[in-house]
Structure 1
């Protein structure tokens, strides 16, 4: 087996905008390094290093590959084992040929959700993919979407070359946990990846679980990232965290769009409202997890008349903003998120908020059918 450099060699890392050097190797981040100075909440960093949509891309004639990684996963003191680390998936010429559980490395122990974490250091583990087809082939090695993963080593029993340009358009997407897709059955089962495969495009998923809050540094990141297509899924975190009132929400959306348009004035941009979430359709946040483990709204529905945001209000405001801007921005489009997952599919929200793995795949197919249709916004 020959060692293949992970940095400065033939391997291309796609889906990440930064590589952080660690003691073990390098760790992909889905936001640029400069953004770290612009937030205080550690959860932002935590979800940024979860590599949803991140993959290693190269060509090789190898029949066997070894990939050494160091993962970091959480564990409550009351749980007998760490949280699942997710899957590493290997695609050859666009076809899934191998899936391996990511090895458990570092474990972050905590007394309860949100408690101080205690690091239990772990060791890198190796995943092996054998029996690959003969001959030169295009390979994509996808990282687990829910687990920070440090890249330690890549080894192959053949030549490894840089990928060839394929001419696919680049789609940049930003959203919440429902676009981050922690609950998907693997990295290629997230709805943006499913949609990208059906649409024949390359996706960069800048979604931030729990943190899609119209942060200006995200808008500037999208502005500065080369893109042929852009989509924004806005609203669920804003309602669940009671982050805006009606007075401040509209200007924040306009400002986010204005910043993106500074760098991409004519790129098709699809603004997507939230999927159905029964607990928040008419009631505002904040939210909590109820005794049944499902999402519950704590806000008073009567407060909506005073400017609190429910999902119904958010959808109406996003549709209004899109319509108001379209005269000067004909490349701006709107999609009601309930077309991806509607009110008659509440059984597909296992915790009242997050879709099941099967529902994520269905959302990807529905998005592709809408966005990449001959008369769709991404045609």
Structure 2
């Protein structure tokens, strides 16, 4: 792979301007027309209107898994974007966002977009201040002069408005002949601490499984929301997975009495639109701070003062007796729910998250902030998921999904 570079100014070769339309994009469920261009969303407008939470709004509008896909002979591709970068005051700076260029499915180059808006978040108060910035251009040159499939994966962690697409040869949409995998999860599925958008674990698993990904991983917002269940219900898909648990615990959102009916209702809603589609329920990966200690989760103040971002669990393990949730409780309950339902639903399956990342993995690849896997662990989780889900006889095997 070529070295990562900052974007160059538009070159004279890129003279063909192509309108950016829905048929050139994958992974987005809605496109909002703004004064600058198109803003991809991963929840439809009706769902966004039902709860105008700032965390959810930020997460669903960050285009994790969204990519521009064209077939072309172009050797130069330029994309004008208006990024919105988020800066957390009082926390160490986060790595810059990355655009991945894939040619015929292979990661070939990377770029970062200059300019853009900056949203400064005061961690202590939650207040935000937006500093407007200019449109920037990312440029990929030296592409092979042949017909090829070109994908530009948008940053998984940065709101991105698409302004213009220019090339030095015509482009055309690429109809997909692959199965569509619809996945919902938390910040880990969203891609927190992954190195780039095509190397978040769901993208890696999708590539290994030869499927097209729609990623509804919402950082902090995998909370069994009914509008998310209805979105999953209404989105065409050949395969569906839901990864449930960590956000319920670290938000201290509900007790066991509410959790069990909420999971049933979530699955019932999905089944209204996908009665026989392979549906995989995935429990949480290992997270030692929350294995037996309830939430809410919080920043570790001592670590912040030392210049590190780390999280801690603030609940009392004794509160489990009153129905407070921990990851171990949720794993047991999800396994029980799926076993109960699978008696009447042979296409419903369960995957223990500890098979994706467990004690031995934590010993080798610990969670840097005690909550999110790093880039190497994303690779491992993606490979494990592909091995377990797409293997012959597995829940997502081709013969089962047809």
Secondary structure of the 1:38 match is: coil
TM-score by length of 1: 0.96
Q: 2:244 aligns with which of 234, 240, 250?
A: 234
Q: Which runs of 5+ in 1 are unaligned?
A: none
Q: 1:15 and 1:376, CA in 2 relative to 1: closer, same or farther beyond 3 A?
A: same
Out of 239, 256, 270, which is 1:246 matched to?
256
Contact 1:230 1:268 in 2 (8 A): yes
Q: Tell whether 2:333 aligns with 1:323.
A: no
Secondary structure at the residue paired with 1:145?
A: coil
Q: What is the CA–CA distance in structure 2 between the aligned matches of 1:75 and 1:167, rounded to whole Å?
A: 40
How far residue 12 of structure 1 moved from its aligned partner, in angstroms, is 1.5
Aligned to 1:309: 325
1:361 aligns with 2:379: yes
Please list, as runs of the form range in 1=range in 2, the aligned pairs for 1:1-379 lying within 5 A after superposition: 1-7=15-21, 12-78=24-90, 83-112=94-123, 115-163=126-174, 165-290=175-300, 291-292=302-303, 293-346=309-362, 347-379=365-397
Deviation at 1:76, TM superposition (A): 3.9
Deviates more, 1:96-105 or 1:39-48: 96-105
SS in 2 for 1:348: coil
**SS of corresponding position for 2:32:** strand
Q: Distance in 1 between matches of 2:192 and 2:367?
A: 13
Between Structure 1 and Structure 2, how many residues are aligned? 375
C-alpha distance in 1, partners of 2:125/2:201? 28
Q: Which moved more, 1:363-372 or 1:181-190?
A: 181-190
Residues 324 and 160 (structure 1), Cα distance of their counterparts in 2 relative to 1, 3 Å cut: same
Q: Secondary structure at the match of 1:196?
A: helix
Equivalents in 2 of 1:20, 1:85: separation in Å? 25
Q: CA RMSD in A?
A: 1.4
Take 2:369 and 2:90, find their aligned partners in 1: how far apart are those partners?
Answer: 20
Does the C-alpha gap of structure 1 residues 127 and 334 become closer, same or farther in structure 2, counting only changes over 3 Å?
Answer: same
CA–CA separation in structure 1 for the residues paired with 2:327 and 2:161: 37
